[in-house]
Amino acid sequence: MGLDVREMRLDETPLVIDYFHSSTPEHLEMLGVDPTRLPPREAWATIFNTLYGVEIEQRRGFFLIWLMDGDPIGFSSCDKIVFGAQANMHLHVTKPAERKRGIGTQCVRLSVEIYFQKLKIKQLFCEPNAFNVGPNRTLQRAGFKYVKTHMTVPGPLNFHQAVNRWLFEPPV
């Protein structure tokens, strides 16, 4: 199995749009995503065009693609980026057949390396829905430390929910 994690190209961003727009309402609820907050496909493509037109130090978001044997199996993204300081990570295995196999943990570990290198951060946070077992286990296995559980609206696509805050800081 050839696993590769790299920066997502603009022409690959439809993977993100299709993933959310093609997910079932039940899957979106497990993610903590409110389907009424999904931008229309065309508007989302415009958002990506704008995002990719800005230097990395100024970006509000940064995306990685996860590939197995050259085929996309998922992606990770960062938002709430304070370049040189911290960011918040999100993770998604887009192929249901690849979930619960440990691939997410490997991809998260590789993603963390890229985020620290490209964004020059000192801390990386992740706040999955507290009741979504998969990403919480993945983060723990990937070396993140549990910080707390709290109620919040984690991002513009989300509804108010309980999330677990996880933190990754590289060893000193």
Residue 80 placed within a domain: yes
108-130 average pLDDT score: 97
Is the pLDDT confidence value at 1 over 90?
no
Token look-up 């570990």 returns 109
CB atoms within 10 A of CB 122: 13
Report the domain count for the chain.
Answer: 1
Residue 138 placed within a domain: no
The band of 102, judged by pLDDT with boundaries at 50, 70 and 90, is confident
Residue 164 placed within a domain: no
Rounded distance between C-alpha atoms, residue 93 and residue 25, angstroms: 17
> Domain of 60?
3-121
- The pLDDT value recorded for residue 171 is 81
Residue 16 placed within a domain: yes
14 token code pair: 């439809």
Contact 147, 165 (CB under 8 A): yes
Q: What digits encode the pLDDT tens for the residues 142-163?
A: 999 999 999 999 889 999 999 9
In the 3-class helix/strand/coil scheme, how is 140-153 assigned residue by residue?
HHCCCEEEEEEEEC
Residue 100 placed within a domain: yes
What CATH number did the domain enclosing 34 receive? 3.40.630.30
Q: What digits encode the pLDDT tens for the residues 12-27?
A: 999 999 999 999 999 9
Contacts (Cβ under 8 Å, ≥6 apart) of 134: 93, 99, 100, 104
Rounded distance between C-alpha atoms, residue 32 and residue 15, angstroms: 19
Residue 49 placed within a domain: yes
Residue 129 placed within a domain: no
Is the pLDDT confidence value at 119 over 80?
yes
Token look-up 């549990």 returns 146
- The pLDDT value recorded for residue 58 is 94
Residue 57 placed within a domain: yes
